[in-house]
Amino acid sequence: MLITEPQATARAAQATQIAPKSIHHFINGQYVPGERWFDKRSPLNNALVARVAEAGREQVDAAVRAARAALKGPWGGLSVAQRVDLLYAVADGINRRFDDFLAAEVEDTGKPMSLARHVDIPRGAANFKVFADMIKNVPTEFFEMATPDGQGAINYSMRRPVGVVGVICPWNLPLLLMTWKVGPALACGNTVVVKPSEETPQTAALLGEVMNAAGVPPGVYNVVHGFGPDSAGEFLTTHRGVNAITFTGETRTGAAIMKAAADGARPVSLEMGGKNAAIVFADCDFEAAIEGTLRSCFANCGQVCLGTERVYVERPIFERFVAALKHGAEHMQLGPPEDPATGMGPLISQEHRGKVLSYYQKAAALGATVITGGGVPDMSAELQDGAWVQPTIWTGLGDESAIAREEIFGPCALVMPFDREDEVIRRVNDNAYGLATAIWTTNLSRAHRVAAAIEVGIAWVNSWFLRDLRTPFGGAKQSGIGREGGVHSLEFYTELKNVCIKL
């Protein structure tokens, strides 16, 4: 990671007591300083915690050239079994340095340590092993065919790496979502240039140390820091040496990346925005529906692409459900990440807090009933300058309002009643986004009907955020293009070649 102070393993809440680090690019197996620098501030208290290198066009070009050289050199010459062994070593390296990754993730995001410890870091390591195992066992095709001379021919397919992959990562689950892309890309024999979010640079940089320790050849894994337009993001996505681009983030950025990828007809995998709905039928397991909806609305301070911002509740239980959701939200403890009682941390930045609070103000101006929240919480003196907002629940607005149609990406939800199954399906689908939904019902036939009818990439029934990593993941409509997960990731990160042999 090449920082000016020893590796930070102290609690993130102590960031003000640690001199700011210098976080460098990782190019061709070495840490490289920046052409320019930008500040990384703590979401907890707005303290300066790091100075981060910003890549110019030349540094991005150096990273892409290093990736191309590794692709044609030592990495490209490895067998599948050798790649698998190295990826296992990377996963083991993350686990050996678990506390370092935990400290970096929490310092960047401010999220509760309990969440990062049980989700982000274990999944970040597991992604390498899951896709290493998968590439060992993925099937290919074999066909026999007749020929005019009667001798016949055989056809078989081979998977070959697509090449250098540009990996553009979000800030909400930095390590998890980065390795969700890097793991299968490397398993398939590609090399990568990663552009982490400017808000969360540390774990991507730290992973370079693990790659070196594991024996991954230089140039296979590269990291360049910076922003989007006229910075690392634009320079990477427009670079003609990049063969494919995978991106997770908001829809406007995804559209810009898709335009850039059109130059050279390069494939893209885009997981973009959402305005996800939960549908709660009167016959649901009420307590399970409340617990699941509280998680889907407020986990990670609402900064989850799969999170719920619209909640449709069947009218007979509407008032009871709103009261129970209010009770749960008001008993959610906000606080420092190391406190086991903390249920919700801050938003990622002051800038994002400004966006979320603008929607809180807009909801009030539109006449929403504020069931709870709607503003800024009172925090202790050491946290009062952080990016904190209250978990918020509204009623009283309809599907046509901006609160029901635009992605906010904060700890908030609009709760609306419905009367009929066909009505709620129509209302949920009347939205530009289509990433995920959660359906709460004990009626098995209804569960199948509604799950099939909702226009999304993933539909949960009586659960939320429950995933088998072998299943397809992605969005419909403006929520994305393509699928990742299981063999669907391998299809994006490989080119299929057919070999036809005349007998």
Q: pLDDT tens for residues 361-388?
A: 999 999 999 999 999 999 999 999 999 9
Mean pLDDT for 227-254 is: 97
The residue with tokens 């009818």 is 453
Q: What angle do CA 272, 277, 279 make, to 5 degrees?
A: 155
Going by C-alpha positions, the residue among 80, 177, 179 that lies closest to residue 128 is 179
Active-site residue among 199, 271, 309, 407?
A: 271
CA distance 224 to 62: 10
Q: Domain coordinates of the chain in residue numbers?
A: 57-272+480-502, 276-467
The whole-model pTM stands at 0.94
pLDDT confidence of residue 1: 64
Among the listed residues 305, 309, 407, 484, the single catalytic one is 305
**Quick check: 6 pLDDT over 50?**
no
How does the average pLDDT of the chain come out, rounded? 95
Tell me how far apart the alpha carbons of residues 68 and 181 are, in angstroms, rounded to a whole number.
18
- 468: how many CB neighbours lie within 10 A of its CB? 8
Backbone region of residue 112 per phi and psi (left: phi > 0; alpha: psi in -120 to 50; beta: other values): beta
Residue 385 near residue 45 (C-beta atoms within 8 A): yes
Q: Which two tokens stand for residue 202?
A: 């540390």
Q: How is 135-186 classified by DSSP, letter by letter?
A: HHH----EEEE--TTS--EEEEEEEEE--EEEEE--SSSHHHHHHHHHHHHH
Residues 144 and 152: beta-carbon distance below 8 Å? yes
Phi, psi of 99 (to 5 degrees): -65, -35
Q: How many CB atoms lie under 10 A from the CB of residue 398?
A: 11
In the predicted model, what is the mean pLDDT of residues 107-117? 98
So what's the pLDDT on residue 35? 80
Q: Which of 426, 413, 415 is nearest to 318 (CA)?
A: 415
Whole-number Å distance between alpha carbons of 486 and 72: 26
Q: Does the pLDDT at position 5 exceed 70?
A: no
Domains 57-272+480-502 and 276-467 share a fold: no
Say what the pLDDT of residue 59 is: 97
pLDDT in tens, 126-174: 999 999 999 999 989 999 999 999 999 999 999 999 999 999 999 999 9
The Cα 496–Cα 330 span in angstroms is: 53
Residue 188 has pLDDT above 50, yes or no: yes
**CA distances (Å), 18 to each of 7, 12, 107, in order?**
11, 10, 11
Yes or no: is domain 57-272+480-502 CATH 3.40.605.10?
A: yes
Kindly report the CA angle at 244 between 243 and 245, in degrees rounded to 5? 140
Q: Which residue in 69, 66, 67, 61 sits closest to 235, CA to CA? A: 61
Catalytic residue status for 495 = no
Asked if 305 is an active-site residue, the reply is: yes
Q: Is it the case that residue 270 has pLDDT exceeding 80?
A: yes
What average pLDDT does range 478-500 have in this prediction? Answer: 95
Architecture of domain 276-467: 3-Layer(aba) Sandwich (3.40)
Q: Please name the residue that has the structure tokens 């129509």.
A: 426
Q: Which residues of 196-213 are buried (b: 16+ CB within 10 A; e: fewer)?
A: bbbbbbbbbbbbbbbbbe
Give the span between the Cα atoms of 70 and 64, in whole angstroms.
10
Cα(265)–Cα(478) distance, rounded to whole angstroms?
20
Q: What is the band of 19 on the pLDDT scale with cuts at 50, 70, 90?
A: low
Q: Identify the sign of the CA torsion 225, 227, 233, 236.
A: negative
pLDDT of res. 17: 46
| Dihedrals phi, psi of 188, to nearest 5 degrees | -85, 0
